[in-house]
Structure 1
Amino acid sequence: MNERRLQYFTGIKDGIPIGLGYFAVSFTFGIMAANTGLSPRQAIVMSLTNLTSAGQFAGLGIIKAGASLGEMALAQLVINLRYSLMSCSLSQKFKEDIPFYHRFLIGYGVTDEVFGVSVCKSGKLDPRYCYGLMSAAVPGWTLGTAFGAVSGSLLPDHLLSALSVGLYGMFVAIIVPPARDNRTLALVVAASMILSLLFSCLPGLRMISSGMRLILLTVVIAGAAAFLFPFPAEKEVSYE
């Protein structure tokens, strides 16, 4: 087996756990997409072209609220802006002579998990390794959405309601453990909950659409946390 094929299949091997995790989460997304009124085909296209759980779940809320396309685009820009930073960081691990089209195609598949696995790999990255990761991660996310969207029209309502709770369980599992050990993160979570409640209950704030509400809260809370609790400067890390 030549080096290129070895890199690709190594990426697939390392990406299988990512794909399995994506399948479980996107199954819930497929169910929620069906409940929102999207057809299975629309839900699948959304997952295949977006590849971001936070952006997609937020998008469903914006669609359900009937918000404008401008609010949808701005919300996706704010929520997914971190992937641009991840891509810039990841590009430093490629050799300088890697063609642009490789960087462009890999940018499509950069997610939190793909970035984490790629950036932790020792030495310079081979684009084919990233393609291997994407070959496991993207089908896992898309197939999970497909099964969830189809199940949304086949399973009984009480079972769908039970499965939909899995999404909130995922968010709790993501937020609670680090918040217990990080006082700043706990304050940010608490502020997010309180402000979201106020925006939903107070008469003046309730008039703001859900899409714009999401954008405002994300920018204000994240910006305030970055200003008040900046991370200390870290030593430069070498990927050689």
Structure 2
Amino acid sequence: MLAYDSYGEETAGAPILIVHGLFGSGRNWGVIAKRLSKSRRVVSVDMRNHGDSPRADSQSYHDMADDLAQVIESLGGEALVVGHSMGGKASMVLALTRPELVRALIVADIAPVAYEHTQAHLVDAMQELDPAAFDKRSDADAALARKVETKGVRDFLLQSLDLKEKRWKLNLDVLGSEMDKILSFPDLSASYDGPTLFLAGAESDYVLPEHRDRIKALFPNAKQAKIPGAGHWLHAEKPREFEAAVRAFFTL
């Protein structure tokens, strides 16, 4: 089963399940998870081929949704689900294929469509680094800067560099080979009628007006909202506003 961090006390209500995006981990969401756990138990998973979760040969959305279903079943059979980017797509597939497990859904800055936002260049950049060569994160950052200009992106990627174990906590080979699947979205005819919020960053180009028809076809009760001043990593850029939106939608 997927590795996860649990925050807060077990209560009678359904827990919140947080599902991170590509190259992320459950611990990236630690601050938001701790704050939300004052109202309800929160579980933040490491997706397959990320963090401390098992390695696998596939990164398909059906497989990722099955992983999430297993976690929710172990937690009691129902959850309030928050998924970002790749995790948002996996959460959508979960809701569409196993709706009984999802009491309500928040999809953060992603739509149920195929994208051309490939991250293959970041896989290549990380693969060029030898984790055994670094004792300090600053040295790894300097080396990664030759391929990745944006400091914020490097900081995010390097959270998955385990300096103690001298390894990436990402299965880079599989993430690279499965990139086309990660960019895609399964052709599903089902719909999820539960409460759904598509929460986007106002400065992001991931959720566009032309996606609305597809969103409504799959999620007929979906609402849409934007966080001003936020881009694709809206939960990291505007954590208080993101938390407030989650609390309001889940009525915590």
TM-score range, shorter chain: under 0.3
Q: With the length of structure 1 as denominator, give the TM-score of the two structures.
A: 0.25
Determine which structure has more spread, i.e. the larger CA radius of gyration.
1
Q: With the length of structure 2 as denominator, give the TM-score of the two structures.
A: 0.24
Higher RCO (CA < 8 A, seq sep 6+)? 1
